[in-house]
Structure 1
C-alpha cells in the first residue's frame, strides 16, 4: 500500500488513546470518595472549577468570534487559506475540550486519591496517576483526531497534494495556541492569587497549617490547582503536540520528501501513544514515602515509553524514508533531549538532591536569602537545558543531511520535536498527577484524616511538585524545538511568495529591531502576568483578613468561613487580568510585521524564542525549588513546621508561586503563538509593510 493511503493510522492512534483514557476514567470512578465530609469538600472544589471554566469559555468565545471574522475577511481577500478560519475554530475547541476533560476527571479523583491513600501509598499513587493518564491520553487522542480529520478533508474532499496540505496545515495551530494561552494565563492567575492569598494570611500571619479548613481561601486554592495546572496544562501541551506535527508536515514538503515526509511524524505520534500506554503499567511503588523511590516509580514508566518509541522509530524510519537512518538519529536526539531535560529539571527542583536542600539551608538567615538563593538556582538551572537543546539541534540537523541540503537538516529539527513529544501521553500523565495529589492532601487535612494519611498525601504532593516542574521543563524544551521549526516554516513561506524580500543578516536594522522587540515581549508578558497575580492576590488577602476579623468563632473552629466569596473573587480577577497578556501575543507580531516587514518578524521570532526559553526554564525551576525547599523543611528538617526557617521558606514559596505556575509555563505558549500568528498573517505582511 502506498504511503499516501496509510494516513488512516492517525485515526487508529486517536481511537487507542481516547479509549484508554475512557477506561482509566471508568476505573477511577469505581473508587470511593470516602466520608461525607470528604465528598462535601470535593463537591465544593468541583463546583468552583466548573463555574470558573464556564465563565472563562464565555469570555474566550467572544475573542474567537472576533478572530474568526478577521480571518474570514483575510481569506476573502486571498491573504490566508480559506480553511484557516474553520481550522482556527476546531483547534480552539479541541484544545479547550482537552483541558476541560482533564479537569473534570481531576476534580473527581482528588477525594478518591485521599481515601485510597488511607489504604496504602501505592493505591493513592495509582488513583492519582490514573487521573493524570486520562489527561495525557485525552490530549494526544484529540490532537491526533484533529490533525487526521483535517488531513483527510484536504486530501479526499479537496484533492490537495502533499505540498498544499503541508503549507496549509502549518497555519492551523493558531486556534489551539490562542485557547491554550487564555487557559494557561487565566488559570495561572486564579490558582496563584488563591495560593498566595491563602499562604500570606493563613500560614504567615495567622500561623495555621496549609489547607486548614478555617482558611477562607482554601477551597479557592484547591480549585486553582485544577483550572491552572490541569485545564491550563492540558490546553498548553495539546497545542505543543499538534504544533510539532504540523511544523514537520511543512518542513517535510519543503525538504522534498512528499507524502513520506508527512507520514513519518504521524506514524511516530501513533507509536508514541502505544509506547506511553505500555509505560503506564510499570508505575507502582511500595509503602516507603522516600522521594527517591517515588520518583523512581514514575521515571521507570517514562523511560520505558521513551525506549520503546526509540526502538519502534528504527523500522519506521527505514521503511518510510527509504533507509535514511540519519532521520532516525534526529528522532532519537529529540527523545534523549526530552529525557535529559526532565532529569535535570528534577535535579534542580527535587529535595532529594543538593540544590534544593542547599536552598532550604538559606532559610536559616531569613526570607531575603531564600529569595536570593532561589533566583540564583533558577538562573544556574538554565545552562544544561540550553546545552541539551543546542546539542539536539546540531545532531538532528546534521544527521538528517543538513550539511548537504539545509532543507533536509531543518526537517530533522522538526522531526526531533515530534520525537520529544511522541511520549506526551505518559509525560503529561506524570505532570497532571501532581494537582490531584495536592488536592488529596488538602482534603485529607480539611476532613481530619489521620497523620499517616497526611504523611502519604504529603509525599505524593511533594512528588507532584517535582513531576510538575519536570513536565514544565519538558513542555518548554519541546516549545523551543517547535518554535524553531515554525520559524523555519515562516521563512519558507516568505521565500516561496517573494524571495527578494528576505534579508536576515544581523546587520539589517529590521532584523536587529525585531530581536529586541522579541526579547522585550517576553519580559513584558512575564511582568503583566506577575503583576496580575499580585493584584488578584491582594483582593484575596483583604477578604481573608476580613473574615478572620469579622466571623465570630472562625479561628476557634466554631464557625465556617465563606469559601464561595474567595472563589468568586479569584474568578473575576483572573478573567479581567488575563486579557492584556493574551492579546500581546497576537498584536505584537502583526504590528511588527506591518511596520518592519518580514525581516523584522523573523528577528522577533528569534528573539522571543531564545529569551522565552531561557526565562521559562529560570522561572519554572526557581519556583519549583522554592516550593520543595518549603516541603523539605516541613518534612522535619531545620526545625520543621512553624519554625523560623519554615516561615522564611513560605515567603520564598509565595514568591515562587507565580514564577512556576503562571508566568513561566505561559511563556512556552507565548513563543509558539507568536510563531503561528506570524505564519497566518504572513501574506498580509508580505503584501503591506512600511519598511
Structure 2
C-alpha cells in the first residue's frame, strides 16, 4: 500500500476544515455599527501593511531567484531550486495572508459573542485561530506533496537509492523560500506592532492616564493592526517553515540513512510526512474539544485549551507506534519513542513557559511586586526571571536530543560515542522534531487565538461595551497573553530540533554538490586511503573537512554564529526604538494640536499612526533580514564547510538560549502589568502600575520582535547554507 497519498488527502482535509471554520465565523454578527467600523479600520490597516510588505519581499525574491538560476546554469545547483524557492515563499506568504484575514474579521465577532457567554467568545476566537493552524499545515503538506510528485516524475538516477536522496535534498531547498518570507514577516510585523504598542502605552497609559484601548488614543488602531501583522501573519509564516523544515530535513536524513536499503528507504522518507498527516486529523478532533464554563478563571480557561492540545498529543503518540509498525521498520518501537520525546519536549517547554510568564504563578507576581520600588527594579527582576527560565527549555531539548538519538540507535551508547550508525541517530532527532510539530494544527490555533482575543478586548473597550462583556474579553485576553508566550516557547523549542536536523542535512547537500561537480571519492589528508562519496557517512565528511573543535575555521565560525544572534537582536531592538520614537512624537503632537481628543469630543488621526508604523517597519526590516542571508554565504566563501558548520552551531546554541530569555522576560513583564490591572497591588493608575507599564514597554520588542525572530534566524542560516552548498564546495578562500 502506498501510504504517501495520506499526505495530500490530509492537506485537503485541513484546508477544507479551515474553510468551514472561516465560513462559520463569518456567519456570526459583528455587533453594533461602531464595532463594525473599528474592525474595518483594523482590517484595512492590516491589509495595507501586508500589501506593502509583499512588494518589498517580492523584489528580494526575484533577485535571489535570479541568483540561484545563475548558479544552476553553472552547475553549482539543481535546476529545480529557483522554482522550489519561489513556491516555498509563496505558500508561506499565502498562509500568513489567510490567517490574518480571518483574524481581522474575527475580533469584533468575538467581542459580540462575549455578550452572550464566555464560552461563546472562546469558541469564536479559538476556531478562528484554528483557521491559521489548519491553513499552515494544509498548505505545507500540499506543497510537499506536489513537489514530491513532480520530482519523482522528472528526476532520474542510475544508482539505486540515489534518486530519493536527490528528491529530498531538492525539496529541502524550498524551505529557504519559506524561511526568507517568514523572517521578513516576523521582523517587519514585530517592528510594526511594537512601535505602535510602545507609543500607545507610554503616551496613552503613563502620560495621559487613559486605558490601553481607549478610542482617544491615536495609536490604538495601529496597535490592534500590529497584533495581526506580527502575531498572526508573522507567527504563521514562522511555524510554516519550521513544520516544512522538520519534515523535509527528516525525509532527507531518512533517504541517506537507508540509501543501501531501497526497500526501506522510501518508507523512511514517507514516515515524517505520514506522522504529520495523521496529526492533521487529530488536530481537528482536538479543536472540537475546546470549550469552557461560564465564570471560568484563568486556570480553567487554560485547561480548556490544554484539553484539545493534550488529547491530540496523546493520540498521535499512540498512533506513532502503529505507523512505524505498519511501515515495517525493524526498530519501530525505538523510533516511536523518538517521536514521543519530541512531543514531551514540546509539552514541557510549554508548561515551563507558562510557569515563568503567567501571573497565576510566583515568578511573574514577584516582578509585579518589585514595582513598589519603581520601574528599574521591575526591569531587573524581569531580566533575572527570563535568564533563569532558560534552564527548563535548554535541559528539555538536551534530553530530547539524547533520548531520541539513543532510541533510534537501540540505546547502544558505544555506537553513539564511536560515531557508528550516526545517520540513524540523526534520523531519530529529526523524527523528534516532527513529533513536536505533528499537532501544529491545534498548537498554532492556541497561539493565533491570542491576538484575536486581544483585538476583541480592544474593540469592546473602544465601543464602550458593558462591564460584564469587558470582564469576559479581559479573561480571554489574559489567556491569550499566556498562550502567546507558550506558543513562542514552543516555536523556539521546535526551531532548535529542526535546526539540528537541518545541520545534519547540510552534509547531505555537500555530498550532492561534490557529485554534481564530478568528484567521486574523498581522499583524506592523513593518507588513510579514499572512500567513495556515495558510500561515505557523516563521520567521513567530518574527517575530510576536519570539522573539529581545534580547527580555527570551525572556531571562527562558532564566534560569528554566536555574534549573529546578538547583532540581529541589537538591530531589531534599535529598529523598534526608532520607529517607536516617531510614534510617541506623533501621539503627543495629536494630543497637543487636535482639540478635544482627551475630552472625547475630537477625533484622533488613526491613519497617520498606521502610516508611521507601516513606513518604519518596511524600512527597518531590510538590514537585519538581509544579513541573515548574506553572512552564511560570505562565511562559506571565506571559511568553507568547516566555517559554515561552526557558524550554524554557534548560531543555534546562542540563538536558542537568547530567544528563550527574551520571549519569557517579555511575557512575564506583560503579565505582571495585567496582574496589577486586575486590581492587585493598587490597580490601574497606581505608581506600581506605571512601573510595570515601563517594564512591559521594554519587554515588547523582547517578546514580539527580537526573541521570536531569532528562531527563524537560526533556521534561515541553515537553509541558506544548504542552498549555497554547491558554491561552498566549488570555491572557498581558506
Shorter-chain TM-score category?
over 0.9
Deviation string, structure 1 residues 215-262 (Cα, Å, up to 9, x no partner): 000000000000000011111100000000110011001111410111
Quick one: which of 348, 351, 357 aligns to 1:349?
357
Which residue number corresponds to residue 312 of structure 1? 319
1:300 equivalent to 2:297? Answer no
Q: Distance in 2 between matches of 1:359 and 1:246?
A: 42
Which residue number corresponds to residue 23 of structure 2? 26
Q: Distance in 2 between matches of 1:670 and 1:431?
A: 20
Equivalenced residue count is 688
Q: Displacement of 1:654 after TM fit?
A: 0.4
Distance 1:37 1:338, change over 3 A: same
Which residue number corresponds to residue 128 of structure 2? 131
Q: CA RMSD in A?
A: 1.0
Quick one: which of 282, 292, 295 aligns to 2:289?
282
CA contact (8 A) 1:191 1:224 kept: yes
Which residue number corresponds to residue 63 of structure 1? 60
CA contact (8 A) 2:87 2:174 kept: no
CA contact (8 A) 2:155 2:167 kept: no
- Rg larger in structure: 2
CA contact (8 A) 2:3 2:274 kept: no
Q: Distance in 2 between matches of 1:6 and 1:290?
A: 44
1:273 equivalent to 2:270? Answer no
CA contact (8 A) 1:22 1:134 kept: yes
Which residue number corresponds to residue 573 of structure 1? 616
Deviation string, structure 1 residues 75-116 (Cα, Å, up to 9, x no partner): 111111111100000000000000000000000000000001
Q: Distance in 2 between matches of 1:83 and 1:266?
A: 21
Q: Distance in 2 between matches of 1:67 and 1:501?
A: 31
For the residue of structure 1 that corresponds to 2:75, the secondary structure is: coil
Q: Distance in 2 between matches of 1:399 and 1:348?
A: 31
Quick one: which of 469, 491, 500 aligns to 1:484?
500
Q: Distance in 2 between matches of 1:384 and 1:367?
A: 27
Q: Distance in 2 between matches of 1:569 and 1:170?
A: 38
Quick one: which of 443, 449, 459 aligns to 2:475?
459
Q: Displacement of 1:531 after TM fit?
A: 0.4
For the residue of structure 2 that corresponds to 1:233, the secondary structure is: helix
1:264 equivalent to 2:264? Answer no
CA contact (8 A) 2:218 2:587 kept: yes
Q: Displacement of 1:657 after TM fit?
A: 0.5
Quick one: which of 662, 670, 676 aligns to 2:719?
676
Runs of 4+ in 1 over 2 A off after TM superposition: 156-161, 491-501
Alignment gaps of 5+ in structure 2? 158-162, 259-263, 410-414, 515-521, 523-540
Q: Displacement of 1:167 after TM fit?
A: 2.3
Q: Distance in 2 between matches of 1:159 and 1:282?
A: 47
Q: Distance in 2 between matches of 1:108 and 1:289?
A: 26
CA contact (8 A) 2:95 2:236 kept: yes
1:643 equivalent to 2:678? Answer no
Quick one: which of 367, 377, 386 aligns to 1:378?
386
Which residue number corresponds to residue 49 of structure 1? 46
Distance 1:454 1:655, change over 3 A: same
CA contact (8 A) 1:117 1:123 kept: yes
Which residue number corresponds to residue 632 of structure 2? 589
For the residue of structure 2 that corresponds to 1:7, the secondary structure is: helix
1:387 equivalent to 2:395? Answer yes
CA contact (8 A) 1:381 1:617 kept: yes
Q: Distance in 2 between matches of 1:92 and 1:472?
A: 22
Quick one: which of 573, 578, 581 aligns to 1:538?
581
For the residue of structure 2 that corresponds to 1:104, the secondary structure is: helix
Alignment gaps of 5+ in structure 1? none
CA contact (8 A) 1:501 1:598 kept: no
Q: Distance in 1 between matches of 2:561 and 2:368?
A: 35
Q: Distance in 2 between matches of 1:322 and 1:28?
A: 43
Q: Displacement of 1:322 after TM fit?
A: 2.6
Matches within 5 A, 1:174-213: 174-213=176-215
Which residue number corresponds to residue 556 of structure 1? 599
Q: Distance in 2 between matches of 1:140 and 1:489?
A: 22
Which residue number corresponds to residue 140 of structure 2? 143
Q: Displacement of 1:321 after TM fit?
A: 4.0
1:509 equivalent to 2:552? Answer yes
Q: Displacement of 1:319 after TM fit?
A: 1.8
CA contact (8 A) 1:289 1:456 kept: no
For the residue of structure 2 that corresponds to 1:8, the secondary structure is: helix
Quick one: which of 327, 333, 336 aligns to 2:344?
336
TM-score after normalising by structure 1: 0.98
For the residue of structure 2 that corresponds to 1:552, the secondary structure is: coil
Q: Distance in 2 between matches of 1:159 and 1:79?
A: 18
Q: Distance in 1 between matches of 2:368 and 2:52?
A: 39
Q: Displacement of 1:157 after TM fit?
A: 3.8
Which residue number corresponds to residue 236 of structure 1? 238
